[in-house]
Amino acid sequence: MTIVLFVICGLLWIVAFGALLHYVIGRKARSGSGVCSRTQLLWQSLLHTRRQQLMAYWSLSMGVFTVFAVGLNRPDFTDSDMIAQATGGYDLYADCRVPVQYDLNNEAVRQKLSLTDLPDNTHFLQFLRHSEDEASCLNLNKVETPTVLGVDIDSMAVFGLAPEASASAGGPVVYVDSESLIWSMMMEVGDTIMYRNANGVDVPVVIAGTYPTGVFHGNAIMANDDFRRLWPDESGVEVMLVRSSDVVAAYDVLSVALSEYGLSIQTTEERMRMFFEVTDTYLLIFLTLGGLGLLLGVFSMLIIVRKNLTVQRTAIQQYEVLGFRPEVIRQMLLRENVAVPLFSVIVGAIGSVISISANIAGAGVGTLLIAAISLAALCLSVYYGIKLIVNKYVL
């Protein structure tokens, strides 16, 4: 709901400045002192073409809004800080079909399971699992009870999960990644999920908080103690994260040594890309449509400029008769034709930033830099495109 509200705020920003533009053009054009000045001629010309100017404003601002809002929401895998939080600094994600009943950080256990060839600094973060519904973006249906992963909750701090809320909840609590909570479950922090325990009794479990979307996307995280009270028979480890200085060696050793457990292993970055591929596909569709809309807006704006200059041929000739130099006429026409398009681009860009404010931290530095360069390139293209047309009409 918060994201939707921010998008609405971004759209209202554009609507508000559209109304303001309509008002300012009318007021400035009618409040002249009777003295003929370049500024007054500018406002009079804008008033005369106000309808066309507003059409250019709506098409350009909405096109820019769509393209930038969608583009800034695309995941940035070059942002090391985002990847570090999403993966917790772990390199491999392993899923076992047969539960592992051992602590793989124990040296004696590694000898027993033929894991002695693992690099010395290899570390495992192991999770219990109670399988329920798939709540990731791979499932398009609404989910009421996501799969639960049990873990020492303090170890989840590296994933951006703050466990303080569990102290005041008075019962079992879970933490759900923000995207699954909003889009798959359509719930909020503080809502209750009903899970059936080992005795067949429905137990209310409070959603105590969220964590950034990453390798656990679609799973609810629960403290080990709460997990064991609800499902004491599900004691084996089925999910684990692996951190190692030699990822390739760790991958090869685990694939062989734990093959009898039905081990499926992948890098954490591959897992993230798998989840974001679905989201990115939808965003790419909207980005393409928005890009076409923006392109249409730019071309319609250039057509409006050509039409206005054609209508103003008589006025241009009058300026020449009155003694205005060609460079002065070009400057006047450029000012009145470039003001609204540049204003539209800036308003649309600011509106897009407002619309993603709820998730601005998810946009990496690289994404923001590309957006800034694209905005500058768009403004320059609009400016020089209009300047080229004006120069053709005033020799």
- Considering the domain architecture, whether residues 116 and 239 belong to the same structural domain is answered as yes
In this predicted structure, the answer to whether residue 264 has a pLDDT above a threshold of 80 is yes
Structural contact between residues 340 and 21, judged by C-beta atoms closer than 8 angstroms: yes
Give the chain's mean pLDDT: 84
Please report the pLDDT score of residue 97 as a whole number: 92
- How much is the average pLDDT of 289-293? 82
Structural contact between residues 236 and 198, judged by C-beta atoms closer than 8 angstroms: no
- Considering the domain architecture, whether residues 33 and 120 belong to the same structural domain is answered as no
- Considering the domain architecture, whether residues 148 and 254 belong to the same structural domain is answered as yes
Render pLDDT for 51-104 as a digit per residue (tens, 0 to 9).
888 888 888 888 888 888 887 777 666 556 667 767 888 999 999 999 999 999
| Burial group, residue 130, by CB count within 10 angstroms (0-12, 13-18, 19+) | buried
- How much is the average pLDDT of 312-319? 77
Residue 164 confidence class, pLDDT cut points 50, 70, 90: low
In this predicted structure, the answer to whether residue 112 has a pLDDT above a threshold of 90 is yes
- Considering the domain architecture, whether residues 287 and 182 belong to the same structural domain is answered as no
Please report the pLDDT score of residue 166 as a whole number: 45
Please report the pLDDT score of residue 78 as a whole number: 58
In total, the chain counts a number of residues equal to 395
Please report the pLDDT score of residue 63 as a whole number: 87
Please report the pLDDT score of residue 168 as a whole number: 47
- Considering the domain architecture, whether residues 369 and 322 belong to the same structural domain is answered as yes
Rounded Cα distance, 256 and 252, in Å = 7
Structural contact between residues 367 and 71, judged by C-beta atoms closer than 8 angstroms: yes
Residue (of 356, 349, 279) closest to 77 by Cα position: 279
In this predicted structure, the answer to whether residue 256 has a pLDDT above a threshold of 70 is yes
Greatest Cα-to-Cα distance within the chain, rounded to the nearest angstrom: 99
Q: What angle do CA 310, 315, 317 make, to 5 degrees?
A: 95
Residue 275 CA neighbour count, 13 Å, CB half: 22
| Percent of the chain topping pLDDT 90 | 36
In this predicted structure, the answer to whether residue 328 has a pLDDT above a threshold of 70 is yes
C-alpha distances in Å from residue 251, one per residue of 116, 259, 262: 13, 12, 14
- How much is the average pLDDT of 208-222? 89
Please report the pLDDT score of residue 167 as a whole number: 46
- Considering the domain architecture, whether residues 64 and 102 belong to the same structural domain is answered as no
- Considering the domain architecture, whether residues 92 and 141 belong to the same structural domain is answered as yes
pTM value is: 0.68
- What are the structure tokens assigned to 174, written together? 């879970």
The kind and range of the H/E element at 237 are strand 237-243
Domain that holds residue 99: 88-268
How much is the CA Rg of the chain, to the nearest whole Å? 30
Which DSSP string corresponds to 8-39? HHHHHHHHHHHHHHHHHHHHHHH---S---HH
- Considering the domain architecture, whether residues 55 and 101 belong to the same structural domain is answered as no
Bridge partners of residue 96, in order along the sequence: 263
- Considering the domain architecture, whether residues 152 and 192 belong to the same structural domain is answered as yes
- How much is the average pLDDT of 329-347? 87
- Considering the domain architecture, whether residues 113 and 43 belong to the same structural domain is answered as no
- Considering the domain architecture, whether residues 348 and 259 belong to the same structural domain is answered as no
Count of structural domains, the chain? 2
- How much is the average pLDDT of 286-297? 82
